[in-house]
Amino acid sequence: MGATLPSLPVIVGTGLTGCSISRSLARAGVRHLLVGPAVEGDGARLGESLNLEGSLDIVDYFPELSDGYLAKTAVIAHVGEKRVRCDLNMKRGAASALFYRALGYREPPDAFLHVDRKGFDAAVFGSVVADPHCEHVDALVEGVDYDREGDRIRRLRLSDGREVVPIAVFDATNHVRAVARHLGLGLELLGPAQRSVYGHYEHAGAHSCDDSLWHATHVVRLGRAEDGVDGLAWYIPLKGVASIGVGVDRAEGGGEDELGDVELMRRVVAAIERRGIIPEGAFAPPPELRTIPHYRHFLHSRAFGRNWMLAGGTFCVMWFAASAGISSGFTAANVAPHFIREPEVFGPAYERLLRGLRAPHGVFEWLRRSDPVATDVAELERRADVLVAQSVLRLAESVAMLPGRSRRAVAGAIAGAIRGDHFDASGICVRARELPREDAVDERLATLRQVLDVFAGERPLAAIDACIADDVLVHIDRLSFRGVQGWKKWAMHSRSTWPFDAIRFEIVEHSYDAGRDQLTVHVEAVVRERGADGERRSSAERFVYRFDGARVCEIWTSRHNYGFLYGPSFTTLPGFVAHIGRVLLWNLRRRPEEADERAAAE
């Protein structure tokens, strides 16, 4: 028998899951062993696109590595010709700020995150092993002495000949299942075996952070007829490079198995270009492609025992597009210190949470097996909404299972409301909707002209309801207002009080970003002052309008855009606040229809 290591909690696996558990135990003041090879070098791992929980947790766990976190504004799913977009903006106003604060996340990121994993895992490893609570053991677990009766792991045998009698064991070896495979657990396989090929593609031209290339993750259902590949592909933009890859079924001869890695990826990139996700030739092929020739999606029959837990990807591996791999590791880390003390309380809660990942997995399994041509957009939107609701539910449930009375109570109430279908998760982070085609720009411009006509008094105020969403978010410099009522009050006051005989607005320049469904316009106001002969024209001012369906859902403008209409004092903060006060007072004394009646009379 070899030397025995101190009897402590043992984390097996030095990947992101193992290191997150290590940090969690260290923060709780728990000494532990971290067993596995040292993580060194640049080697980029998969797991670059994070879901809601993962985005919140990674910032919380590893704030020192924030240079590697990149906010994305959307995930866009492509099926045949159809596209559905989920907005991932987490700062949607006061309600969402309150939501995250109530759950204990004081500084949520602006949006879901991409992580540049190049060198990231080595940095995480270096950081956690520097903590005095962590003792790193550079060895592999080779043997497990499991007491089936008592459901306890008695002893672990390591490749360096040493042994450890663990207080608790966290198996974080992912698909290797270094401990799990000695426990005689059931393993449910989900769907056919997969092969994955991927690489980091370097951008060939100049790029800026504002470029729409860099802000959205795309998931593409490839079809054999149109793309020459039957599979599910991803495009994840990082800094200056994009992670592009694909998962295809292992067909044991035939199908995509006939294609070599290079040809497979050539077809994937062509398919991504054809859909307009990236311009042709924008990215150079990587010097080497990486491949996982054979892997399975699976779920173990149990996630924990008396003194052991299958952490994150060791318990279950789901479709990559669910972005649940990394977050499931954080779920294990969040619960780890409590699990050591009370496995019978925290084990079942942890297992329930991870079993919930079947829902997003099911959405992507459906997407992968759907017919790209026949798939209905409404069904796609519905499934995307399931993803959103489930993600917020998992977040609330994971907070609800941790100690801390008030957080638990709030999280429990939120989880209950989502389960009972009384909670609109889209107010918190994500909204799924069909994306318009590039030629939607004409429709968007027409809507905007109507908005400007209403503002000028050319159309009745009520016409705005078809153009602007009830809960529109308006940003004026750093201030934000929600609701079309505010817009109406402003318009009524303006129409009734400005000193012009005539006013009209002209859009002199525009650009349209179909990926964001966002119209940027430069508008000039043309006025004839009371009693004056000629017209006066303002300079061209910039406004940005984002659409949701046929209506505007978000507007960005600036006080400086209105100096021409309301006078120079409006462009100062005190002048602006005074103006708002006048608008509110004026509206208190009037009915909304008045402005229309007056306009009609004139």
Contact positions vs ligand FAD (CB under 6 A): 12-18, 35-37, 45-50, 54, 140-141, 172-174, 176, 178, 196, 245, 247, 292, 295, 312-313, 320, 323, 325-326, 329
DSSP 7-54: ---EEE--SHHHHHHHHHHHHTT--EEEESPPP-S--PPS--B--HHH
For the bound state, the minimum distance from the C-beta of residue 81 to ligand FAD, rounded and expressed in Å, comes to 25
Could you count the other beta carbons within 10 Å of the beta carbon of residue 55? Answer: 29
CA distance 201 to 288: 10
If the CB atoms of residues 157 and 579 are measured against ligand FAD, the closer one turns out to be 157
DSSP 241-290: EEEEEEEEE--SSSGGGGS-HHHHHHHHHHHHHHTTSS-TT-EEPPSS-E
For the bound state, the minimum distance from the C-beta of residue 322 to ligand FAD, rounded and expressed in Å, comes to 8
| Long-range contacts formed by 143-146: CB under 8 A, 24+ apart | 143/182, 144/179, 144/182, 144/183, 146/182, 146/183, 146/184
If the CB atoms of residues 214 and 455 are measured against ligand FAD, the closer one turns out to be 214
For the bound state, the minimum distance from the C-beta of residue 101 to ligand FAD, rounded and expressed in Å, comes to 25
CA distance 462 to 518: 24
If the CB atoms of residues 13 and 337 are measured against ligand FAD, the closer one turns out to be 13
For the bound state, the minimum distance from the C-beta of residue 236 to ligand FAD, rounded and expressed in Å, comes to 7
For the bound state, the minimum distance from the C-beta of residue 222 to ligand FAD, rounded and expressed in Å, comes to 14
CA distance 152 to 165: 11
If the CB atoms of residues 115 and 464 are measured against ligand FAD, the closer one turns out to be 115
If the CB atoms of residues 115 and 527 are measured against ligand FAD, the closer one turns out to be 115
Closest to 503 measured CA to CA, from 525, 476, 523: 525
Closest to 594 measured CA to CA, from 491, 479, 443: 491
If the CB atoms of residues 165 and 377 are measured against ligand FAD, the closer one turns out to be 165
Q: At what angle do helices 377-400 and 358-369 cross, to 10 degrees?
A: 160
For the bound state, the minimum distance from the C-beta of residue 312 to ligand FAD, rounded and expressed in Å, comes to 5
**How far lies 307's CA from each of 5, 14, 437, in Å?**
17, 20, 54
For the bound state, the minimum distance from the C-beta of residue 412 to ligand FAD, rounded and expressed in Å, comes to 26
If the CB atoms of residues 114 and 488 are measured against ligand FAD, the closer one turns out to be 114
CA distance 579 to 112: 37
For the bound state, the minimum distance from the C-beta of residue 329 to ligand FAD, rounded and expressed in Å, comes to 5
For the bound state, the minimum distance from the C-beta of residue 20 to ligand FAD, rounded and expressed in Å, comes to 8
If the CB atoms of residues 139 and 464 are measured against ligand FAD, the closer one turns out to be 139
> DSSP assignment, residue 111?
B
58-70: buried (b, 16+ CB within 10 Å) or exposed (e) per residue? bbbbbeebeebbb
68 and 47 Cβ atoms separated by less than 8 Å: no
If the CB atoms of residues 297 and 493 are measured against ligand FAD, the closer one turns out to be 297
Give the CA angle between residues 53, 46, 364 to the nearest 5°: 65
**Which helix (DSSP H) or strand (DSSP E) does residue 171 occupy?**
strand 169-171
For the bound state, the minimum distance from the C-beta of residue 447 to ligand FAD, rounded and expressed in Å, comes to 36
For the bound state, the minimum distance from the C-beta of residue 159 to ligand FAD, rounded and expressed in Å, comes to 8
Closest to 546 measured CA to CA, from 51, 70, 87: 87
For the bound state, the minimum distance from the C-beta of residue 353 to ligand FAD, rounded and expressed in Å, comes to 15
CA distance 577 to 128: 50
CA distance 511 to 438: 11
If the CB atoms of residues 14 and 494 are measured against ligand FAD, the closer one turns out to be 14
If the CB atoms of residues 17 and 334 are measured against ligand FAD, the closer one turns out to be 17
If the CB atoms of residues 326 and 492 are measured against ligand FAD, the closer one turns out to be 326
Joined tokens for residue 347: 């084990």
If the CB atoms of residues 160 and 594 are measured against ligand FAD, the closer one turns out to be 160
User: Tokens 């992507």, residue?
Assistant: 364
Could you count the other beta carbons within 10 Å of the beta carbon of residue 221? Answer: 25
For the bound state, the minimum distance from the C-beta of residue 142 to ligand FAD, rounded and expressed in Å, comes to 7
Could you tell me the end-to-end alpha-carbon distance of the chain, in angstroms, rounded to an integer?
99
